[in-house]
Amino acid sequence: MKTKKRKKSSRMHGRNMGTHGRGARKKAKKSGHKGGKGMSGSGKRADHKKTLITKLYGNKYFGKQGITSKGTKKDKRQRINLEQIQKNLEKYGKKTIKGYEINLNKYKILGKGEIKEKLIITALEASKSAIEKIKKSGGEITLANKQKPEKEIKKEENQKADKTEAQ
């Protein structure tokens, strides 16, 4: 009868390789044959870990993300079409005697869509087509950006035309 039991590590010598008779060392890594825990083993041949990575980080983890030159900056101005304003008048503005007063100081107004109501808009910028449509519906637009009002543009055009006629 044995009185002293040998420790498991001393009993399971795998020919002095530290494998405890398990064969390969990677079999002892608790995560099966995945190559280790977590993100370890997610290198070149990591197809078996792609599902885990896409769940955690989405599809932007793999592949090139693209580089632009240092001088190129993304245009971060917010834009809104007249069509969207028309659909959500209650959300963007208040109904007054003059018409709908809409404050869109951070937006550039673009001319897609038709307007049925009279709109009084304050915005950062606006396209020519948007200005025309707003004026046509009987509304007004004031721009925070240093864009010339339509009247000044017409005056300048008339002055140029007068000069060419005089010559």
The pLDDT, as a whole number, for residue 92 is: 82
The answer to whether the CB of 37 falls within 8 A of the CB of 52 is: no
**Domain-embedded: residue 72:** no
Burial class (CB in 10 A: 0-12, 13-18, 19+), 122: middle
Q: How far apart are CA 130 and CA 85, in angstroms?
A: 11
Q: Which tokens in the block code for residue 41?
A: 């083993």
**Domain-embedded: residue 164:** no
| Most confident of the following: 4-13, 19-28, 121-130 | 121-130
pLDDT, averaged across the chain: 79
Q: Which tokens in the block code for residue 81?
A: 């079409």
Q: pLDDT tens digits, residue range 43-85?
A: 777 777 888 888 888 888 877 777 777 888 888 888 999 888 8
Number of structural domains found in the chain: 2
**Domain-embedded: residue 40:** no
**Domain-embedded: residue 115:** yes
Does residue 103 sit in the same domain as residue 56? Answer: no
Does residue 93 sit in the same domain as residue 31? Answer: no
How many of the other CB atoms lie within 10 Å of CB of 111?
18
Burial class (CB in 10 A: 0-12, 13-18, 19+), 147: middle
**What integer is the mean pLDDT of 129-148?**
83
Expressed as residue numbers, the domain containing 88 is 78-152
Our separate counts of H helices and E strands in the chain read: 6, 5
Q: What is the CATH number of the domain that holds 102?
A: 3.100.10.10
Looking at per-residue confidence, does 9 or 56 come out higher? 56
Whole-prediction pTM: 0.47
**Domain-embedded: residue 158:** no
Does residue 51 sit in the same domain as residue 94? Answer: no
